[in-house]
């Protein structure tokens, strides 16, 4: 049995579902494959939920300008999931920052983005920050965005979404790719699907999917992997309508998390827990997980029998072997900077895997990498850490 | 302190490293388990002040081997900055409620002293240092004596090996907005309560053998200028002396004139006076210039130290 499609899209994150909807609107027959049981379960949901305007990249003007360009379009297209009614404050740390207040102002002028000076003493303890700026940057609510995409796709008869899928191998045959896979989280029978076009939109699993390719020359993305923790907290009334980001170095950010009423707390030093420099994500917690699974503790398992290997990354947020929270470190770092009235309380931690292109460390740029491996049949991989650069995909679809 | 019960406070350990490949591991082996048994959460910040030997490799091997559950950051200074600047960088990165500053990894005190300073701090001090009066070098003793006699603030300083500083003290220093050329003196002058615990030396001297004489002398001179009025007094005394000489010369000339003695014979003394006069002017100029350079430092040099990298080592 070999079911044929026009496009097969791997990964039901924002990039995957965006591509599915885009292609479906052109009348193409699309198949979306997802490892988890739900869409938007990983990086699309578990991140700072910033709609980037470019402020984050004071050392990479190209990244900044591009973000700013897409910002407007994204806000217009998906306004329903955007939370914009809060003051987004960027500040430059007095110590250890690669960029100071003056340079930041200069950079904003060059990028043509809003930047109004504020007194740092309004938010920060004396001597901690040498500049504070009111900026225009929003946050998106991944759950609302997910609802929108699933609603849109539900009505499309030419789109099939399969969840809990385990891909075996991807075979190139003439002008098609044939994917073999098991459904029901690997328990189902082997099935085959084929299409002349495959989009690999799996973010942290991008190399894992590439490695499933048979009889095709491929090259892994040069990435490192960071297992990241985002802390959700309840902000005090004063903090409720304020987002604060201290740059540009080992600092932190506390800002609204979509429309949830919660704030996300992250820090450059403490958010990444462990790093893997292998081409496939290899972590000690994978071993810990398999040991735990052997012990089979009936009460602990959110996802009983979960398997995670360098070849098949499971969902870190559902894993029982995730690292201990760095809440104490992150909150101490934030408290060191913030005035007392900007308080917050711990709610929960979210974990996800984040791939980082190795080439982008010096200027801290975050390019959207789209690589066409071959054409006829076409295999395209996309890797991007920002939601609003999703439009980069258009010309490839 | 009760054993088995861990303190809830978050502690930062800031450790100064400059070519200590043989000392780093013994230090870690003694201090880290001790802190670990007494405190629930702590972080370790190692300041690599231009190490050129295997210190950092030794440190990393130790950390890897022991699989510590503690956050470790290594600050790599861009080049050798000297103790004071490097430790300022370390303290600036620290996030703890209380910060231990270890100026040296050479341990010549008993490990109990480490908890003693903490307990003392809880009694209501913001800065508690541990120091010893044994085997302090002569020049240091002279320095401290002169310093304490002439210091503008109340604080008395002495030789110290390590200290603990509260977050409140760190904030206070930040809000005073001053450049910190010499931590001890700034802490002593920040207006918060400070105390020193003296211990008897055990084993090898912790002495800062690595610090060059030139560096020490320059630090001493800077400290005198920032925190004492020695220089003001010196210039005052100098001016007085020159004034006296001038008056004396005036009297001498007047006397010569009244006595009708030929002026040509006073040629020698006139020249002497001129020489002294110029010397005095130059001496004053030197002092004025020194003050100017200090002012320049205070106002213009924003970045007090340059780091090349901050490296996170362990902790999941």
A336: contact with B, CB 8 A cutoff: yes
Radius of gyration of chain B (CA): 25
Cβ within 8 Å, pair A126-B177: yes
- Please tell me whether residues A149 and A130 are part of one structural domain: no
Sequence-ordered list of residues with C-beta below 8 angstroms from that of A114, at least 6 positions apart, any chain: A108, A134, A135, A136
- A331, closest residue in chain B (CA to CA): B95
Cis peptide before A248 (omega within 30 of 0): yes
The runs of H, that is alpha helices, within B132-229 are 138-150, 167-175, 183-189, 213-227
Please give, rounded to a whole number of angstroms, the shortest distance from the CA of A20 to a CA of chain B.
Answer: 36
B240 and B204 fall within a common domain: no
What Cα–Cα distance (Å) separates residue B120 from each residue in A131, B96, B124, B188, B196? 37, 18, 7, 16, 9
Alpha-carbon torsion A220, A226, A227, A229, what sign? negative
In angstroms, the CA A145 to CA A135 distance is 24
Q: How far apart are CA A201 and CA A357, in angstroms?
A: 15
CB contact under 8 A, B316 and A324: yes
Q: Indicate the number of domains in chain B.
A: 2
Mean pLDDT of A372-381: 93
Cα angle, residue A365 at apex, residues A360 and A369 outer, rounded to 5°: 75
The reply to whether A50 falls in a domain is no
Task: Give CA–CA dist A4/A361, Å, rounded.
Answer: 41
Residues A244 and A333 in one domain: yes
A53 part of a folded domain: no
CATH of the domain at A179: 3.50.50.60
Both B20 and B107 in a single domain? yes
The domain tally of chain A equals 2
Note whether B148 and B199 are same-domain residues: yes
Contact between A25 and A7 under an 8 Å Cβ cutoff? The reply is no
Would you state the pLDDT for residue B209? Answer: 53
CB-closest option in A96, A128, A324 to B307: A96
pTM of this structure: 0.82
Q: Is A126 on the interface with B (CB under 8 A)?
A: yes
State residue B205's pLDDT score.
Answer: 56
A334: closest chain B residue by CA: B95
Reduce the DSSP state of residue B211 to 3 states and report it. Answer: coil
Q: B104 burial class (0-12, 13-18, 19+ CB within 10 angstroms)? A: buried
Which of A126, A273, A333 is the closest to B171 by Cβ?
A126
- Residue A300 scores a pLDDT above 50: no
Same structural domain, B127 and B245:
no
Q: Which domain holds residue B272?
A: 230-300
In chain A, whose CA is at the least distance from the CA of B314?
A: A274
- In-domain check, residue B4: no
Domain identity same for B114 and B101: yes
Residue A133 above 90 pLDDT?
yes
A249-278: pLDDT as tens digits = 889 999 999 999 999 999 998 999 999 999
- CA–CA separation, B98 vs A147, rounded Å? 47
User: Any idea what the CATH number is for the domain that residue B58 is in?
Assistant: 3.90.550.10
Assess whether A374 and A282 both reside in one domain.
Answer: no
User: What pLDDT was estimated at residue B177?
Assistant: 65
Confidence of residue A362 (pLDDT cuts 50, 70, 90): low
Pairing of strands B127-131, B194-198: parallel
Q: Identify whether residues B131 and B171 lie together within a single domain.
A: yes
Q: Is residue A52 part of a domain?
A: no
Which residue among A96, A127, A274 sits closest to B316, beta carbon to beta carbon?
Answer: A274
CATH number of domain containing A124: 3.30.9.10
Nearest chain A residue to B77 by CA distance is A96
Task: Identify how many contiguous H helices and E strands chain B contains and give both numbers.
Answer: 10, 8
A181 is in which domain, residue-wise? Answer: 3-43+144-221+368-396
Cα angle: B185, vertex B187, B192; to 5 degrees: 135
Whether residues B189 and B249 fall in one domain: no
Report how far apart, in Å, the C-alpha atoms of B67 and of each of A222, A225, B71, B135, B210 are. Answer: 28, 20, 11, 38, 30
- A127 to chain B, closest Cα gap in Å: 5
How confident is the model over A53-61, as a mean pLDDT?
Answer: 84
Burial of B138 (0-12, 13-18, 19+ CB in 10 A): exposed
Q: Are residues B77 and B150 in the same domain?
A: yes
Question: Which residues lie below 8 Å from residue A241, measured CB to CB, with a gap of 6+?
Answer: A85, A86, A87, A256
Question: Which residue is closest to B76 within chain A, CA to CA?
Answer: A96
Do residue A333 and residue A290 come from a single domain? yes
Radius of gyration of chain A (CA): 21
A373 and A310: one domain?
Answer: no
Report if residue B155 sits inside a domain.
yes
Residue with the larger pLDDT of the pair A317 and B153: A317
Q: Which of B174, B302, B307 sits opposite A126 (nearest CB)?
A: B174
Is A48 inside any structural domain? no
A-chain residues near B96 (CB < 8 A):
332
Within 13 Å of residue B105, how many CA atoms lie on the same side as its CB? 26
Whether B2 maps to a domain, the answer reads no
Q: Report the distance separating Cα B131 and Cα B119, nearest Å.
A: 16
Closest CA to B154 of B190, B126, B178, B183: B190
B156 is written with which tokens?
């008395």
Which among B106, B122, B210 has a CA at the least distance from the CA of B164?
A: B122
CB within 8 Å of chain B, chain A residues 293-332: 323-324, 326, 328-329, 332
A127, A250, A284: residue with CB nearest B174: A127
Cβ-count burial of B247 within 10 angstroms (0-12 exposed, 13-18 middle, 19+ buried)?
exposed
DSSP count for chain A of H helices, then E strands:
8, 23
Residues A150 and A295 in one domain: no
Does the beta-carbon distance from B175 to A270 stay under 8 Å? no
Residue B277, pLDDT score: 79
Same domain? For A255 and A174 the reply is: no
Mean pLDDT for the stretch of residues A62-90: 90
Strand pairing partners for A235? A344
Cβ within 8 Å, pair B307-A332: no
Decide if A55 is inside a domain: no
Asked if A352 and A272 sit in the same domain, the reply is yes
List the strands of the sheet with A190-195, edge to edge.
A3-4, A190-195, A176-182, A166-173, A213-214
**B85 contact partners, CB below 8 Å, separation of at least 6:** B77, B304, B305
Q: Mutation target for B interface from A96, A99, A246: give the one with most B CBs within 10 A.
A: A96
Closest in B10, B171, B307 to A332, CB measured: B10
A203 within domain boundaries = yes
E-assigned strand segments in B29-96:
39-48, 71-77
A128 contact B CB<8A:
yes
Question: Other C-beta atoms within 10 Å of B240: how many?
Answer: 10
Bridge partners (DSSP) listed for residue A167:
A181
| Residue of A328, A335, A364 to mutate when probing chain B, most B C-beta within 10 A | A328
Q: What percent of chain A has pLDDT over 90?
A: 70
Q: Is the pLDDT of residue A92 over 80?
A: yes
Residues A136, A271, single domain; the answer is yes
| Residue B1, domain member (yes or no) | no
Length of chain B: 316
Say yes or no: A276 and A199 in one domain: no
Residue in A101, A102, A228, A329 to test binding to B, most B beta-carbons within 10 Å: A329
Task: Report how far residue B242's alpha carbon sits from residue B14's, in angstroms, rounded to the nearest whole number.
Answer: 49
Is B273 in the same domain as B196? Answer: no
Q: How far is Cα B167 from Cα B94, in angstroms, rounded to an integer? A: 10
CA A72, A73, A78: angle at the middle one, nearest 5?
105
The reported pLDDT for the residue numbered B2 is 45
Is the pLDDT confidence value at A111 over 50? yes
Task: Please give the Cα distance from A376 to A370 (Å, whole number).
Answer: 17
Percent share of chain A, pLDDT over 70: 95
Q: Which two tokens stand for residue A383?
A: 């890797």
Test A95 with B95 for CB contact under 8 angstroms. no
Instruction: Check whether residue A70 and residue A86 sit in a common domain.
Output: yes
B174 plus B279 within the same structural domain: no
User: Do A110 and A68 form a contact (C-beta atoms < 8 A)?
Assistant: no
Q: Over the stretch A164-218, which tens digit does the pLDDT of each residue have?
A: 999 999 999 989 999 999 988 888 889 999 999 999 999 999 999 999 998 888 8
Count Cβ–Cβ pairs < 8 Å, chain A vs chain B: 53
Residue of B nearest to A126 (CA): B175
Q: From A335, which residue of chain B is nearest by alpha-carbon distance?
A: B95
Asked if residue A349 is part of any domain, the answer here is yes
- B277 plus B179 within the same structural domain: no
Q: What is the pLDDT along chain B (316 residues), one digit of tens a residue?
A: 444 578 888 999 999 999 998 999 999 999 999 998 999 889 999 999 999 999 999 999 998 888 777 889 999 999 888 888 899 999 999 999 999 999 999 888 888 899 999 999 999 899 999 988 777 788 888 888 888 888 766 677 888 889 999 998 888 887 776 667 788 888 888 888 888 888 888 766 555 455 677 878 888 887 777 777 777 777 778 777 877 777 777 777 778 778 776 666 666 677 667 767 777 787 787 788 777 777 766 665 555 677 777 777 765 5
Contacts of A128 in chain B (CB under 8 A): 174
Q: Are B91 and B165 in contact (CB under 8 A)?
A: yes
Q: Enumerate the H helices of B200-266 as residue ranges.
A: 213-227, 230-259
Confidence of residue A301 (pLDDT cuts 50, 70, 90): very low
Query: Does any domain span residue B238?
Result: yes
Residues B108 and B174 in one domain: yes
Q: Are A199 and A16 in contact (CB under 8 A)?
A: yes
* Both structure tokens of A315: 């969902």
pLDDT tens column, A203-253? 999 999 999 998 888 899 999 999 999 999 999 999 999 999 998 888 999
Mark whether A17 and A148 lie in a shared domain. Answer: yes
CA-CA distance, B141 to B164, in Å (whole number)?
Answer: 23
The distance of A363 to chain B (nearest Cα, Å) reads 14
User: Residue B265: inside a domain, yes or no?
Assistant: yes
Give the separation between CA A132 and CA A245, rounded to whole angstroms: 9
- Residue A79 belongs to a domain: yes
Q: Is residue B3 part of a domain?
A: no
């Amino acid at each position: 049995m070999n079911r044929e499609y026009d496009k097969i899209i791997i990964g039901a994150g924002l990039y995957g579902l965006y591509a599915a909807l885009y292609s479906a609107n052109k009348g193409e027959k699309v198949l979306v494959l997802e490892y988890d049981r739900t869409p938007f379960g990983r990086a699309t949901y578990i991140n700072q939920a910033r709609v980037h305007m470019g402020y984050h990249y004071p050392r990479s003007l190209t990244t900044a300008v591009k973000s700013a360009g897409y910002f407007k379009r994204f806000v217009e297209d998906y306004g329903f999931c955007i939370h914009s009614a809060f003051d987004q404050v960027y500040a430059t740390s007095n110590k250890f920052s690669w960029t100071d207040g003056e340079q930041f102002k200069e950079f904003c002028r060059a990028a043509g983005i809003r930047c109004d000076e504020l007194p740092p003493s309004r938010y920060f303890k004396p001597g901690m920050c040498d500049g504070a700026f009111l900026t225009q940057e929003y946050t998106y609510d991944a759950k609302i965005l997910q609802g929108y995409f699933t609603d849109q796709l539900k009505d499309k008869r030419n789109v099939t979404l399969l969840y809990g899928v385990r891909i075996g191998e991807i075979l190139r045959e003439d002008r098609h790719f044939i994917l073999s896979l098991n459904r029901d989280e690997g328990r189902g029978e082997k099935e085959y699907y084929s299409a002349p076009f495959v989009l690999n939109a799996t973010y942290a699993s991008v190399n894992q999917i590439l490695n499933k390719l048979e009889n095709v020359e491929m090259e892994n993305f040069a990435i490192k992997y960071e297992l990241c923790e985002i802390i959700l907290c309840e902000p005090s009334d004063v903090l409720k309508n304020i987002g604060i980001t201290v740059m540009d170095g080992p600092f932190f950010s506390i800002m609204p998390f979509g429309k949830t009423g919660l704030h996300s707390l992250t820090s450059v030093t403490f958010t990444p827990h462990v790093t893997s420099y292998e081409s496939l994500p290899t972590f000690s917690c994978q071993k810990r997980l398999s040991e735990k699974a052997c012990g089979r503790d009936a009460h602990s398992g959110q996802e009983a029998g979960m398997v995670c290997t360098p070849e098949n990354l499971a969902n870190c947020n559902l894993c029982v072997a995730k690292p201990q929270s760095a809440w104490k470190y992150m909150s101490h770092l934030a408290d060191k900077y913030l005035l007392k009235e900007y308080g917050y309380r711990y709610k929960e931690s979210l974990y996800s895997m984040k791939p980082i292109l190795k080439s982008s460390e010096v200027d801290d740029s975050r390019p959207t990498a789209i690589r066409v491996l071959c054409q006829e049949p076409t295999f395209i991989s996309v890797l991007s850490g920002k939601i609003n650069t999703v439009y980069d995909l258009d010309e490839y679809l | 302190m009760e054993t088995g019960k861990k303190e809830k406070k978050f502690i930062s350990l800031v450790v100064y490293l400059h070519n200590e490949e043989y000392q780093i591991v013994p230090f870690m082996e003694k201090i880290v388990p001790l802190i670990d048994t007494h405190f629930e959460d702590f972080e370790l910040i190692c300041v690599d002040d231009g190490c050129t030997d295997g210190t950092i490799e030794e440190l990393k091997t130790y950390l890897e081997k022991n699989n510590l559950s503690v956050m470790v950051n290594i600050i790599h200074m861009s080049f050798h900055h000297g103790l004071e600047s490097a430790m300022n960088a370390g303290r600036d990165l620290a996030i703890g409620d209380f910060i231990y500053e270890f100026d040296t990894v050479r341990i010549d005190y008993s490990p109990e002293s480490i908890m003693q300073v903490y307990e003392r701090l809880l009694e209501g001090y913001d800065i508690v240092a541990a120091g010893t009066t044994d085997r302090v070098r002569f020049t240091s003793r002279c320095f401290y004596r002169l310093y304490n006699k002439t210091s503008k603030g109340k604080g008395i300083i002495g030789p110290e090996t390590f200290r603990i500083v509260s977050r409140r003290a760190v904030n206070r220093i930040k809000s005073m907005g001053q450049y910190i050329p010499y931590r001890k003196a700034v802490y002593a002058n920040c207006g918060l309560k400070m105390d020193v615990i003296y211990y008897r030396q055990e084993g090898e001297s912790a002495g800062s053998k690595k610090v060059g004489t030139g560096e020490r002398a320059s630090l001493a001179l800077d400290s005198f200028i920032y925190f004492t009025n020695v220089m003001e007094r010196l210039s005052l005394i100098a001016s007085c002396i020159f004034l006296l000489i001038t008056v004396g010369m005036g009297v001498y000339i007047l006397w010569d004139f009244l006595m009708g003695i030929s002026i040509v014979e006073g040629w020698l003394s006139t020249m002497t006076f001129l020489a002294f006069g110029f010397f005095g002017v130059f001496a004053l100029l030197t002092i004025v210039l020194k003050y100017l350079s200090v002012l320049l430092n205070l106002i213009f040099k924003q970045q007090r130290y340059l780091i090349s990298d901050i490296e996170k080592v362990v902790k999941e």
